[in-house]
Structure 1
Amino acid sequence: MHWNWVVNLTGFSTNATYVGFTGTPIDATIDVFGEVVDAYTMTESVADEITVRIVYEGRAAKVLLNNRKLQEIEEYYNRCAEEGSNEHQIEESKKVMAQMNAIIGDPKRLQDLAEDFVTHYENRIAEGATIKAKAMFVCSSRPIAYALYKNVLELRPEWGEIKVADDGVILTDKERKEIKPMERMKMVMTRGKDDPEDMYYLLGTKEDRKEMDRQFKNEKSNFKIAIVVDMWLTGFDVPFLDTMYIDKPIQRHNLIQTISRVNRKFGEKNKGLIVDYIGIKKQMNLALAHYNKKDSDVFEDIEQSIVVVKDQLDLLHKLFHKFDNSRYFNGTPLEQLNTLNKGAEFAQITQEIEKRFMYIVKRLKAAYDICSGSDAFTHAVRDEIHFFLAVRSIVFKLTKGVAPDTAQMNNKVRNMIQEAIESEGIEEIFKLGETGEKEVDIFSEDYLAKLDKIKLPNTKIKLLQKLLAKAIEDVQKINKIMGIDFTKRLQFIVDKYNERKESDVLNSIVLEDFTDEIIDLYFALKKEKDSFKDLGIDIEEKAFYDILKALAIKYDFVYPEDKLIILAQKVKEVVDDKAKYTDWSKRDDIKAELKVGLIILLADNGYPPVDRDEVYKEIFEQAENFKKYRA
């Protein structure tokens, strides 16, 4: 719990001070313990990045269009807020609650509720707006929960199919043992002896509920939607739970504990969403203000996210005002894909424009993740958002790796890739960094021919840079000194490219020069990578050869080439002999033996005529390097 209240308890002893801690202090606690001495608020928790902000989306009007009924619900809340519990008030409360259940449980309303929930939930899934697709739906009673459950299954019978995980989800052997096949949507509540037979068996035993607990907390489990009434609303933490649908009257501390289920920090999650089907916004604010006025504005209305999306779209329109993206919306798949390709090129004209574009779309995405389930955007606007997100995915892949918003390249984008996969080498960009792709030899002539098809210079430079950096990284795992050398050479070219001026944009020769420099480095790495074959030694012996030769150049002494090759082979023999144990690099005795062996070997071979410590240091590091990656 992230509300840590400290209260002072006095009156039990004249010489003692008693301190109590509570997560959500109810009035009865304060009456006994006294006034709050100090509090750690939700606002402070968000500021400290321990929890995330909660966004409110009101959808009561979507399923209850009768204003008179909405007023009755509001009046009910006001009555619940009154203090006292005499007989008259208890009887009145029962009477009102019966009226409330009649409103909330109206069959037509529950049908509308199910339809809106399914649409909202699936929109968020389709837009990649939810972390792990986990959602909790809070109902006001068990019979109403069961009625809603049946209505949802009528719309989506597949949510009742027992599966291990979503189609396409890759599971490890360990995960296959841990994940129990289960429906996508389940009711989580205890059985009642008067429950209908179907509902009774659906709810399962205490052990079944324990298993549901485990599966809902598993990121990859097929169990995604939990329909609850009272269970799991307190003390149940699922950090990747980011969406809660509420259709139950809840007050004060119970409401705070309930909505706190979605404010846990997890990965890229920066907000939790509360979807309100009953009109609890006023109660949320009152509940928070009751305990601490600082938290009275801790909630963010979804309208704020909608405004942010519109503002960022406006900025993107201005940034892309010279770019024609019309073929993305009405062209053939090939034309759509080419437009995305050109859009990524346009976004990379200069480093300044690229950074600005990526920052704006990042803000757009964060806001859209929250409000994508709302009805605030037309299909045309959503298509525009998808365009910019898809362009960002391409640029992100070119510069950093797998794009975090690839899921938001919706079916339209994915389908056009499938239909136009051979388009100008662009498929290599979409495949870059994806898991499951077979390893390719980027030094093969076929692969280079594919890259040569890419005619847009900035895109080609970024892709070459990415591929070359990966190739250098792989080389460095075997030959540390070679990897360091090529890393420096590549970084020099990249720095020059990033410092290009806007005036160079129209000068194609400048970009062609950068491309040529990277390709020259590409061929230099390819040649160096295979140079061990010309020397008649293996790739690991070549690594020690490079160290010995580099030190000879550094300290300006001559050592015959034929003797250098033989010495490199002997060095590897000594290293292999002394470093055959997996923990050798942590054992001082073995490292001491290795150093003695190298001292004797180098002395016997007259190498080097300089201080030997650097030689040993370099050889030790190289030995650790390829032993680590070869293991």
Structure 2
Amino acid sequence: MNARIIITTIQKLDIFISKNKGHSVFKQRMVLIFDECHRSQFGDMHIKIVNAFKNYHLFGFTGTPIFTVNSGIGGNPLLRTTEQAFGEKLHTYTIVNAINDGNVLPFRIDYVNTVQMTDGIEDSQIRAIDIERAMGAPERIREIVSYILDHFDQKIKRNIFYTLKGMRVAGFNSLFAVASIPIAMKYYTEFQRQLSSSGRSLALATIFSFSANEDDPADNLPDEGFENDKLDKTSRDFLEVAIADYNKRFHVNYDTSADKFQNYYKDISQRLKNREIDLLIVVNMFLTGFDATTLNTLWIDKNLKQHGLIQAFSRTNRILNAIKAFGNIICFRDLKQATDDAIALFGDKEAGGLVLA
């Protein structure tokens, strides 16, 4: 039997189809398997792929399918759910099954109230503006950074040592998911200020890009992108400074140019896995599809719901050792109802007692 397995991305497959119309491979018998199939499967690329191949079997894997209840309202109305894209489901293995089988950890969630709302506002649009103004207030950001630094060692278990890849390391590491690029810039600056004034050492980094973060939908985390030429000048200049800080700490040489930024992303990914970064500030990057067993904590100042919420939470619950008993989730926004709804959607209505430690 002369069969080959090709591992690629949907973007590269899309480019191949566009540049090789009429290629003989499209007539061969193919099995197409998409991981994380809740992403990038509801637009033109998917249609081009299924139209190009003539003799294929199509399979998709995802822990967070797109159902009617959590589907979008734009785009092709015949391509909004996972079932529309891939057909009837063949097998279900939920987060409840995975926790029961000991394949992933449950979550432990803390809700930290950070906003005192103004009374007497009836208009929903005005209230939304009022909320976002309050969320980005310097006083609030200062207090949240102070809270994180005060609780950091406790949450990541900094005083507990273990062996990782032959190295002795202290505790775990964490992601901080924030609502937008401007907010990420504010947080990074405030962390640097407080760390400097206290004389404390923390391996801090940030990463964001235009294509990954041009929208901030609570239920969907866009694919990571590397098109920094589309960033506004203020954001790109700031990212250059943050990368320069990173270069100095780790003795590397990256910047926001296309090739070097992709390598910066790869370097961050590897250092997260090696427990060399303590805290990474992100907007959407690293919140889906990325696994690092050393990550045990997600700090959140961002609206999340449905599959976006479960995907983000699940960065923390990969099994490593007996010290890591659950994934820590610390919410600086009120995500309790959204969390309960997401667990019910992707587990079952009685799953909360098992999924939440």
State the TM-score, normalizing by the size of structure 2.
0.60
Q: Aligned letter for 1:55?
A: R
Map 1:142-221 → 2, pairs under 5 A: 142-157=181-196, 184-190=203-209, 191=228, 192-196=231-235, 197-203=237-243, 204-205=255-256, 206=261, 207-219=263-275, 221=276
Structure 2 runs not aligned, ≥5 long: 1-33, 39-55, 68-79, 162-169, 210-227, 244-254
Contact 1:160 1:185 in 2 (8 A): no
The one of 241, 263, 270 equivalent to 2:325 is: 270
> Aligned residue for 2:282?
228
User: In structure 1, how many angstroms separate the alpha carbons of the residues matched to 2:283 and 2:129?
Assistant: 16
Question: CA deviation digits over 1:117-157, x for unaligned, max 9?
Answer: 11111344677369633111110011111111111222112
User: In structure 2, how many angstroms separate the alpha carbons of the residues matched to 1:56 and 1:101?
Assistant: 23
Q: Aligned letter for 1:22?
A: T
Contact 2:95 2:346 in 1 (8 A): no
Give the Å deviation of 1:18: 7.3
Give the Å deviation of 1:30: 4.4
- Change over 3 Å in CA distance of 1:209–1:299 after alignment to 2: same
Give the Å deviation of 1:290: 1.9
User: In structure 1, how many angstroms separate the alpha carbons of the residues matched to 2:160 and 2:147?
Assistant: 17
- Change over 3 Å in CA distance of 1:127–1:243 after alignment to 2: same
Give the Å deviation of 1:276: 0.7
Are 2:108 and 1:55 aligned? yes
User: In structure 1, how many angstroms separate the alpha carbons of the residues matched to 2:146 and 2:188?
Assistant: 11
User: In structure 1, how many angstroms separate the alpha carbons of the residues matched to 2:279 and 2:142?
Assistant: 18
Task: State the secondary structure of the residue aligned to 2:176.
Answer: strand
Contact 1:56 1:299 in 2 (8 A): no
Question: CA deviation digits over 1:430-452, x for unaligned, max 9?
Answer: xxxxxxxxxxxxxxxxxxxxxxx
Identity percentage of aligned residues: 24
Give the Å deviation of 1:208: 2.2
Question: CA deviation digits over 1:340-391, x for unaligned, max 9?
Answer: xxxxxxxxxxxxxxxxxxxxxxxxxxxxxxxxxxxxxxxxxxxxxxxxxxxx
> Aligned residue for 1:128?
159
Q: Which has the higher contact order (CA 8 A, sep 6+)?
A: 2
Are 2:132 and 1:101 aligned? yes
Contact 1:50 1:265 in 2 (8 A): yes
User: In structure 2, how many angstroms separate the alpha carbons of the residues matched to 1:265 and 1:126?
Assistant: 15
- Change over 3 Å in CA distance of 1:295–1:18 after alignment to 2: farther
Q: Aligned letter for 1:211?
A: D
Are 2:82 and 1:25 aligned? no
- Change over 3 Å in CA distance of 1:55–1:2 after alignment to 2: farther
User: In structure 2, how many angstroms separate the alpha carbons of the residues matched to 1:282 and 1:37?
Assistant: 30
The one of 119, 139, 151 equivalent to 2:178 is: 139
Question: CA deviation digits over 1:28-67, x for unaligned, max 9?
Answer: 32451566553111111111111111111111x2x22x14
State the TM-score, normalizing by the size of structure 1.
0.35
- Change over 3 Å in CA distance of 1:253–1:124 after alignment to 2: closer
The one of 271, 287, 298 equivalent to 2:342 is: 287
Please tell me whether Structure 1 or Structure 2 has the larger radius of gyration of its CA atoms.
Answer: 1
RMSD, aligned CA: 3.6
Contact 1:4 1:39 in 2 (8 A): no
Q: Of Structure 1 and Structure 2, which has the larger fraction of its residues in helix?
A: 1
Give the Å deviation of 1:251: 1.6
- Change over 3 Å in CA distance of 1:23–1:123 after alignment to 2: closer
Q: Of Structure 1 and Structure 2, which has the larger fraction of its residues in strand?
A: 2
Task: State the secondary structure of the residue aligned to 2:109.
Answer: strand
User: In structure 2, how many angstroms separate the alpha carbons of the residues matched to 1:291 and 1:232?
Assistant: 21
- Change over 3 Å in CA distance of 1:212–1:97 after alignment to 2: farther
Give the Å deviation of 1:99: 4.7
User: In structure 2, how many angstroms separate the alpha carbons of the residues matched to 1:120 and 1:295?
Assistant: 28
Q: Aligned letter for 1:218?
A: N
Structure 1 runs not aligned, ≥5 long: 6-15, 77-91, 167-182, 302-631
Contact 1:138 1:247 in 2 (8 A): yes
Question: CA deviation digits over 1:75-100, x for unaligned, max 9?
Answer: 98xxxxxxxxxxxxxxx7xx876554
Q: Aligned letter for 2:174?
A: A
- Change over 3 Å in CA distance of 1:158–1:40 after alignment to 2: farther
User: In structure 2, how many angstroms separate the alpha carbons of the residues matched to 1:17 and 1:154?
Assistant: 55
